[in-house]
Structure 1
Amino acid sequence: MSGLGHVVVLGDVVDDILVRASSPVVPDSDTDALIERRPGGSGANAAAWLAAEGLPVRFVGTVHRDDVDRHTALLRDAGVDARLDASDDLTGTIVVMIEGGSRHMYTSRGANLRTGPHLVTDDLLDGASHLHFTGYSVFAGADPSSWNDVIDRAHAAGATVSVDPGSVSYLEKYGALPFIRAVSGADLLLPNLDEGLLLGRTDDAQTAVETLRGLFPVVALTHGRGGAIVAQGGGEVFEVLSLVGPDEVVDTTGAGDAFTAGFLAGWLPDRGTDAALPRAATRGMEAAARAIRSIGARPRRPPSA
């Protein structure tokens, strides 16, 4: 990635509690299970995957003051320069119930509700090639115009901007049109299928992409085992297939964040060229496949020497 400035990522940091039943579920009694605690959060996950793709990354988010050192170290070990804000609120926690290829998430957002565009300082943007943030931070309640402002400041600094809506349930509560207004001006939108259908006001993925590429220069919509649909305004709409077979699915947590990182790694060096989007989509699928084939939302670290 020679010559490419750092990527700034703003978003959630959480402690994921991953739960997989290892025996048939017994209602109202004990069920044997495998329970693991892993670092997570859509923004922090994307930052870790970006670092794994070879991009220099600066991450900003919020955790409880007692967890600043722990989460800073976890992100540093993943290759990320983390600038965590300390809060009196508890660090966010998500209990993820994994059942084959599906999952159910019980979320306590905690200190993440303190994360907003005010954390993206001009110093962070100095020398940046790109800014990425997620809907989770938008939904935390900052004035929508402040997101327009941070997008404008990123552009003024010479950086492009991408947004991952993050959660269809939170998006429904926030409202599709208010969200589109809040992130207006972003260069790249990365919804999953449910988010794309809601934002595009349709029940058809292709139609959603056609609608959204009229609002954002580039759209990359992921739809699970169906792969992804990618388009840019005025250009070709094309599909890439998932690289994971049904029997290879271990845990889908973090797959969208991995796709985002792979996509950006393929798109940023040559954005605007005909080759950029196909390369980005393929690289995104490769990263998502690595995520789906292992437990946890972040890249697996190589064993210590």
Structure 2
Amino acid sequence: MDDDTVLDSPFEVIVAGHICLDLIPELPDVELTALLQPGALTEIGPVAMSTGGVVSNTGRSLHRLGVRTGLMGKVGADQLGQITLDLIRVEDPVMAEGMIVAQGETSSYTIVISPPQTDRIFLHAVGANQTFGADDVNYEQVRGARLFHFGYPPYLPRLYADDGAELVDMFQRAKETGVITSLDTAMPDPNSPGGQVDWRLVLARTLPYVDLFLPSLDELRVMLGREDEPVSDAAISTLAAEVLEMGTRVVVIKLGARGMVLRTGEGGAPHTDDAEWRNRELWVPPFVPDYVVGTTGAGDASIAGFLAGMLRGQSVTQALTTAVAVGACNVEAPDALSGVRSWEDTQARIAAGWARAPLTINAPGWEWDKNWQVWVGPHDKRNRKG
């Protein structure tokens, strides 16, 4: 990729895929069952309205971290679509230039039920995401960027149809432009067509064209058909190795309150000769947020932190540290974006001695690196014998 082309491009990163409008009511601190009693009227607080989905959550988080980011998603020509675009344009009109307004289609929205100290429930309408396909990506614009990040294929029917034919086609075409390619997932709904897909096959076909693969643990277990197997710390490492064997160069598994696990192969990080990224196995504990208001978009924000760190030339441990820092900032606000701080503020908070959550790993061979505040795994080159 020509450096002059990158410098002339308005964007360093293109984020494409699923986008929706999130409606997040403020809920009282009561049991979830109390909120869902038939015939009962439950008083709740004001509603926060925010763009959601990977295009917004990761894309706009990257923008807040100082990374020039272009968004590629699809909305309908309706009021919800206009609100979605307006919320993006208020932050930066240029970000929305790659968005598609589909005549005759409805916009996607999600009602996010996020009680305090409880994981979220999503009520989701697919809307215009139903027709988003490989041809909706502007590959010439991708060519001028440094990284192409795509997310939520289980919510994009055209992308998972025919064993992921369009998903594979899209990543092949993106890879041919010379950029770094990155894939995030979402939890397949077992009651939807996306839940009937052979995701192991889709990943096996797609990951050879994906440099960075960033699923959550639960998503990965379902996609590999391992959801009924016991979860152990050793099994997490095995899952990471399995997807590396499918062809991706870097896998980062999001673990929520237990941080993130990274494994890389011999190739290390794309577009760098830094040996520090090769053959690594690291587990980074999360930072302790001042308070937890909501977890909407926390994983997407963490990914934005990781990508921003990598693009800024951080080491692998620094990029992981930035990732969990951005995720911890995220949960201090009810929506997916309000808690995300600037790059400078995030790094200052880390440097000020921000406390980490205690983390114990119940698997042999892991060693604590006191300097970097990260666990180093048995498959990491630092721990290999011979």
Distance 1:136-1:154 versus aligned 2 partners, 3 A rule: closer
Residue in structure 2 matching 1:232, options 253, 264, 267: 264
Q: CA deviation at 1:292?
A: 0.8
Residue in structure 2 matching 1:292, options 311, 328, 331: 331
The match for 1:63 is: 75
TM-score by length of 2: 0.70
Q: CA deviation at 1:11?
A: 1.7
Distance 1:23-1:78 versus aligned 2 partners, 3 A rule: same
Q: How far apart in 1 are the matches of 2:198 and 2:56?
A: 24
Q: Deviations over 1:230-265 (max 9, x none)?
A: 1111412110011135x7221100001101111101
Q: Deviations over 1:77-119 (max 9, x none)?
A: 3346112212222211111111223111111111111222211
Q: CA deviation at 1:212?
A: 1.6
Aligned pairs for 1:47-196 (under 5 A) are 47-67=59-79, 68-79=81-92, 81-82=95-96, 83-87=98-102, 88-101=104-117, 102-136=119-153, 139-142=156-159, 144-169=164-189, 172-184=195-207, 185-196=209-220
Would you say the 8 A contact 1:23–1:31 is kept in 2?
no
Distance 1:178-1:214 versus aligned 2 partners, 3 A rule: closer
Matching residue's letter, 1:85? I
The match for 2:362 is: none
Q: CA deviation at 1:69?
A: 4.4
Secondary structure at the counterpart of residue 18 of structure 1: strand
Would you say the 8 A contact 2:57–2:336 is kept in 1?
yes
Distance 1:32-1:262 versus aligned 2 partners, 3 A rule: same
Q: How far apart in 2 are the matches of 1:122 and 1:139?
A: 19
Residue in structure 1 matching 2:21, options 15, 20, 29: 15
Structure 2 runs not aligned, ≥5 long: 1-5, 267-278, 342-386
Matching residue's letter, 1:54? G
Q: How far apart in 2 are the matches of 1:226 and 1:103?
A: 17
Q: Deviations over 1:1-23 (max 9, x none)?
A: x9696211112221212134326
Q: Deviations over 1:55-78 (max 9, x none)?
A: 111111111113454333321333
Q: How far apart in 2 are the matches of 1:49 and 1:207?
A: 30
TM-score by length of 1: 0.87
Distance 1:128-1:46 versus aligned 2 partners, 3 A rule: same
Which protein has greater RCO, CA pairs closer than 8 Å, 6+ apart? 1
Secondary structure at the counterpart of residue 34 of structure 1: coil
Q: CA deviation at 1:173?
A: 2.9
Q: How far apart in 2 are the matches of 1:113 and 1:182?
A: 22
Would you say the 8 A contact 2:174–2:181 is kept in 1?
yes
Aligned pairs for 1:207-246 (under 5 A) are 207-215=238-246, 216-234=248-266, 235-244=279-288
Matching residue's letter, 1:298? L
Q: How far apart in 2 are the matches of 1:34 and 1:233?
A: 48
Secondary structure at the counterpart of residue 99 of structure 1: coil
More strand by share: 1
Q: How far apart in 2 are the matches of 1:167 and 1:29?
A: 30
Matching residue's letter, 2:132? T
Name which of structure 1's ranges 226-235 and 161-170 shifts more when overlaid on structure 2: 161-170
Q: How far apart in 2 are the matches of 1:176 and 1:230?
A: 21
Structure 1 runs not aligned, ≥5 long: none
Report the structure number with the largest CA radius of gyration.
2
Matching residue's letter, 2:243? L
Would you say the 8 A contact 2:200–2:225 is kept in 1?
no
RMSD: 2.5
Q: How far apart in 1 are the matches of 2:129 and 2:113?
A: 21
Secondary structure at the counterpart of residue 191 of structure 1: coil
Matching of residue 31 in structure 1 with residue 70 in structure 2: no
Q: How far apart in 1 are the matches of 2:28 and 2:330?
A: 21
